[in-house]
Chain A
């Protein structure tokens, strides 16, 4: 089945620093990638949708200057959390789908970010 690789799986950083999370589709071309955030024991909250080669569409309430998303190729999207603060600590999950109408979302393994 389709594989989405997300890296790193776990990162601890100091407050004020930036962290980059990579999401790669390994065996298919991901025309659309989605970035989600999941708080403990809660559902997935969509942060933004990115289509290859164009600017990401952010959900209401998500700061685009804080969560920079780049989708430069059909197999790679990155999420950069800039000037991280402890409240940004969370589980971030990327997902990707190909262009086929009935294509499901395939998820990465997630990145647990802890900001100290």
Chain B
């Protein structure tokens, strides 16, 4: 099966707290890409990061960091010192190749509420 699981449906934190959003994926492909997208209340999806299956280096971008662990099929996302503007739904996605075509599989999303 090829799927993405975001077990946390909703998380609430107080501003300045750190928060980690979990993402576990399943795929039989050896080459694949993982993504995180942010969907604020306005609805548009904003691309945050892309990681290919051969690059397990963790990445930090400002207050955002990502931990890719191939051994546990996880690609977790941490926001440090959260802010109210971080409130959004965050989707983890997996890109696989099916019959020569790229297919993007999204998790069910985690709604993050950052309280002032």
Residue A25 at the chain B interface, CB threshold 8 Å: no
Residue B106 at the chain A interface, CB threshold 8 Å: yes
Please determine whether B101 and A57 come into contact, CB atoms closer than 8 angstroms. yes
Please determine whether B52 and A102 come into contact, CB atoms closer than 8 angstroms. yes
| 0/1 string, A59-90, CB within 8 A of B gives 1 | 00000000000000000000000000000000
User: On chain B, which size bracket covers the interface?
Assistant: 20 to 34
Please determine whether A43 and B108 come into contact, CB atoms closer than 8 angstroms. yes
Contact A107 to B106, CB < 8 A, known contacts A49-B101, A102-B52: no
Q: B102 CB to closest chain A CB, in angstroms?
A: 7
Q: Within 8 Å CB of A104, what residues of B?
A: 35, 47, 50
Q: B43 CB to closest chain A CB, in angstroms?
A: 4
Q: Decide if the interface of chain A is mainly helix, strand, loop or mixed.
A: strand
Query: Number of residues in A with C-beta < 8 Å to the partner?
Result: 23
Residue B64 at the chain A interface, CB threshold 8 Å: no
Q: Within 8 Å CB of A91, what residues of B?
A: 43
Residue A18 at the chain B interface, CB threshold 8 Å: no
Partner of B91, one of A43, A57, A97: A43
CA of A104 to CA of B42, assembled, Å:
21
Please determine whether A102 and B50 come into contact, CB atoms closer than 8 angstroms. yes
Please determine whether A42 and B108 come into contact, CB atoms closer than 8 angstroms. yes
Residue A44 at the chain B interface, CB threshold 8 Å: yes
A81-116 at interface with B (beta carbon < 8 Å): 91, 93, 95, 97, 102, 104-110, 112
Closest 10 CB pairs of A and B: A107-B45, A109-B44, A110-B43, A43-B108, A44-B106, A104-B50, A104-B47, A43-B106, A43-B109, A105-B104
* A interface, CB within 8 angstroms of B: 1, 32, 34, 41-44, 46, 49, 57, 91, 93, 95, 97, 102, 104-110, 112
